[in-house]
Amino acid sequence: MLRASNVTRSFGDERVFEDLSIDVETGEVLAVIGPSGVGKTTLLRLLALSREPDDGSVTFDGTDAWAVDEAERLSLRRRVGMVFQEASLFDAPVARNVEYGLRVRRSWSERLRGELRSVVGSNGTAEAVTEALDVVGLAEKTHEHAASLSGGEAQRVSFARALAYEPDVLLLDEPTSDLDPRNTAVIEEAIAEARSRDIGVVVATHDMHQAERVADRVAVLLDDRVTEVGPTERVFENPRDPRTRKFIDGELVY
Ligand SMILES: Nc1ncnc2c1ncn2[C@@H]1O[C@H](COP(=O)(O)OP(=O)(O)OP(=O)(O)O)[C@@H](O)[C@H]1O
């Protein structure tokens, strides 16, 4: 569905990665693992169609996102949701934060269809909002102010916001790196829920155990390339690339 092919990205003279290819399909979870600073965030930005690769292409259902006009690229971009490492909620009730996802990403026609789907429930909140908050176990916080949430709860609301507008692809950048085990477990369950809704999920993480728990496939990003990509169990138990093996065994020190 969403595919980066032979992409290269540099900042000035510094090449982050070169000739890298990666793809995510409907209803699968792909984990991108690699040490801090290797370029996971940079890769997610390419997949989010918010940055153009220096070389190579990013295609969505076969459409080259950087070969079409801005309006078409925007409509592709609207199909992608992103959750960042730090929750970026605004100063408003939880429901307003989650609704924001419903509003901004949709074109007018999609919004009209969306309105029908998100009929306001008896508590005055769009059902899609309540439902997304339910997935992250925070339906009871709907009317609370975002500022009153713990860091873990705020991150769960960020996830609900991304889920609420029903993206085709969800990109998660280290979504649990600052969270305790309980909040981490909730986010990991929400990832499974997204997959069951046929969303393609890419989760960038330096936590190999998390990748093992949540991912169908794993891509290992080391130095400036993907050293290995394949089914999670195979990559962890029988890595083919010697650098991947060292990384997984904790022998590569970064
Ligand atoms: N806007 C930028 N300008 C210059 N260099 C950048 C920029 N963004 C990223 N880099 C560099 O690109 C490299 C990859 O950064 P990136 O944030 O993608 O890595 P990461 O794997 O996501 O790291 P982390 O896990 O620590 O977030 C780093 O060397 C970083 O310094």
Residues 66 and 104 in one domain: no
Any domain includes 193? no
| pLDDT at residue 71, rounded to an integer | 94
Residue that terminates a domain, selected from 141, 166, 191:
166
Any domain includes 73? yes
For ligand 1, pick from 17, 36, 41 the residue to mutate: most ligand atoms within 8 Å of CB.
41
Any domain includes 44? yes
For ligand 1, pick from 7, 16, 17, 82 the residue to mutate: most ligand atoms within 8 Å of CB.
16
- Total domain count, the chain: 2
- 190-212 confidence digits (pLDDT tens): 999 999 999 999 999 989 999 99
Global pTM value: 0.90
Distance 11 CA to ligand 1 centre (A): 9
What are the start-end ranges of the H helices in 39-90?
40-47, 70-77
Any domain includes 135? yes
| pLDDT at residue 122, rounded to an integer | 47
Distance 226 CA to ligand 1 centre (A): 16
What is the dihedral angle through the alpha carbons of 91, 95, 97, 103, rounded to the nearest 10 degrees?
Answer: -130
Residues 134 and 243 in one domain: no
Residues 67 and 175 in one domain: yes
Residues 155 and 216 in one domain: no
Most confident of 48-57, 96-105, 126-135: 48-57
Q: Is 48 close to ligand 1, i.e. is its CB under 6 Å away?
A: no
H/E segment holding residue 225: strand 225-231
Residues 65 and 9 in one domain: yes
Residues 54 and 179 in one domain: yes
**CA 24 to chain centroid:** 11
Q: Is the dihedral of CA 119, 155, 96, 169 positive or negative?
A: negative
Any domain includes 159? yes
Residues 179 and 72 in one domain: yes
CATH (domain of 220): 3.40.50.300
Q: Is the dihedral of CA 33, 232, 22, 227 positive or negative?
A: positive
ipTM field: 0.92
Residues 37 and 137 in one domain: no
Residues 177 and 248 in one domain: yes
- Average of per-residue pLDDT across 110-121: 53
Residues 108-116: contacts with CB under 8 Å, at least 24 apart = 110/78, 114/165
Query: Which residues constitute the domain of residue 98?
Result: 89-166
Residues 154 and 230 in one domain: no
Q: Is 16 close to ligand 1, i.e. is its CB under 6 Å away?
A: yes
pLDDT at 241 over 80: yes
Nearest CA to ligand 1 atom 5: 11
Q: Is 11 close to ligand 1, i.e. is its CB under 6 Å away?
A: yes
Distance 41 CA to ligand 1 centre (A): 7
- Average of per-residue pLDDT across 79-101: 90
Q: Is 42 close to ligand 1, i.e. is its CB under 6 Å away?
A: yes
pLDDT at 119 over 50: no
pLDDT at 104 over 80: no
Q: Is 36 close to ligand 1, i.e. is its CB under 6 Å away?
A: yes
Q: To the nearest whole number, what is the mean pLDDT of the chain?
A: 90
Residues 125 and 204 in one domain: no
Residue that terminates a domain, selected from 122, 141, 166:
166
Residues 22 and 127 in one domain: no
